[in-house]
């Protein structure tokens, strides 16, 4: 299986890791899923908004570049 490098970065942190995926589509789905997992943790712990740039590369070729954002706000009844 091909190896992809996933980078998630915003104003507070930077995370890079490798993942094996069958193809480009599976790689970017995994990358976005990882960013949403981080976002869910951040927002559920009181941050009203999370945003990060997510890039996926295979070797020197960029497969995708995405902006992932998650926010939460309380609603009145």
Tens digit of pLDDT at every position of the chain (77 positions): 999 999 999 998 899 999 999 999 999 999 999 999 999 999 999 899 999 999 999 999 999 999 999 999 888 87
Tokens found for residue 41: 């943790």
Task: Please report the pLDDT score of residue 13 as a whole number.
Answer: 85
Domain ranges within the chain, ordered by starting residue = 3-71
| Residue 50 Cα to chain centre, angstroms | 11
Longest dimension (CA), the chain: 51
Cβ burial 4-23 (10 Å sphere, 16+ → b, else e): bbbbbebeeeeeeeebebee
Hey, is 56 helix, strand or coil? strand
Return the beta strands (E) in the chain as ranges.
Answer: 3-9, 14-20, 49-58, 61-71
């Amino acid at each position: 299986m091909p190896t992809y490098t996933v980078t998630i970065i915003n104003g507070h942190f930077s995370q890079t890791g490798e993942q094996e995926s069958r193809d480009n589509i599976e790689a970017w789905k995994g990358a976005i899923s990882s960013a949403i997992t981080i976002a869910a943790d951040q927002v559920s712990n009181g941050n009203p908004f999370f945003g990060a740039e997510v890039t996926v590369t295979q070797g020197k070729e960029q497969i995708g570049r995405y902006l992932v954002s998650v926010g939460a706000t309380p609603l009145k009844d």
